[in-house]
Amino acid sequence: MRERAPLVFFDVDSTLVTIEGIDVLAGGNPEIAALTDAAMNGIIAIEEVYGRRLEIIRPSRQAVRQLGETYVSSMVDDAEEVVGTLHERGATVYLITAGIEQAVIPLAKTLGIPPARVRAVRLEFSSDGQYVDFDRRSPLARAGGKEIAVQDIRARSHGRAVFIGDGITDAEARGAVDLFIGFGGVRQRDAVRALSDVYITEPHLSSILPHVFRT
């Protein structure tokens, strides 16, 4: 019997793109960069830094719109080709990220991923475009959130599931998938390597394909 086409879950920052969106919004603020790095390496829980970073930055709607454009221009070299290959071979691709939904949607559209297959954190803005808050109900803004998101999707879908990501919040989803691929092509993190079924250090994504499609 032929195996069902896989479900493929991608992180976004430092996985499909070469940037960390929150650091771009922060304009190089070293405090924000340090908090992001600590969270991605599992030193600080994501919920301890998520709201704190946004309160420091207070990104406007326009800044988030510009970040969406930067995501598209900062894709890992073969990201579009690899996602295209996944689609051609029948995989169902999702983006699961603690990034900002309004900035991630343009990237998803560029990659041919419907907005309905994006799981991210939505920001709230005032009528004049100023930052108000983030969706505090989102599980993605706290530890274990990506595992919850994957479990929810798998409860309504079938097929082997693979997650690809660079950070500890991605590795937290490994219990909900059949294969966790740590991606170190942008940033290598020893804590993630230790938790990965497969760890990739090449600066491109094509290396995931033999693992996604078992022969």
The residues that are catalytic are: 11, 13
Residue with tokens 């650091």: 23
What whole-number distance in Å separates Cα of residue 171 and Cα of residue 105? 23
Cβ atoms 160, 4 nearer than 8 A: yes
Taking only Cα atoms into account, the Rg of the chain, rounded to an integer number of angstroms, comes to 16
Using alpha carbons only, what angle is made at residue 153 by residues 150 and 154, rounded to the nearest 5 degrees?
85
- DSSP H helices in the chain: 21-25, 30-40, 46-57, 61-73, 79-88, 101-110, 145-154, 168-171, 190-195, 209-212
Residue with tokens 């309504």: 156
What whole-number distance in Å separates Cα of residue 171 and Cα of residue 48? 18
Tell me the C-alpha to C-alpha distance, in Å, between residue 114 and each of 110, 120, 156: 10, 13, 17
- As a 3-state breakdown, the chain gives helix, strand, coil percent values, each rounded to 5, of 45, 20, 35
Burial classification of residue 126, based on how many CB atoms lie within 10 Å of its CB (0-12 exposed, 13-18 middle, 19 or more buried): exposed
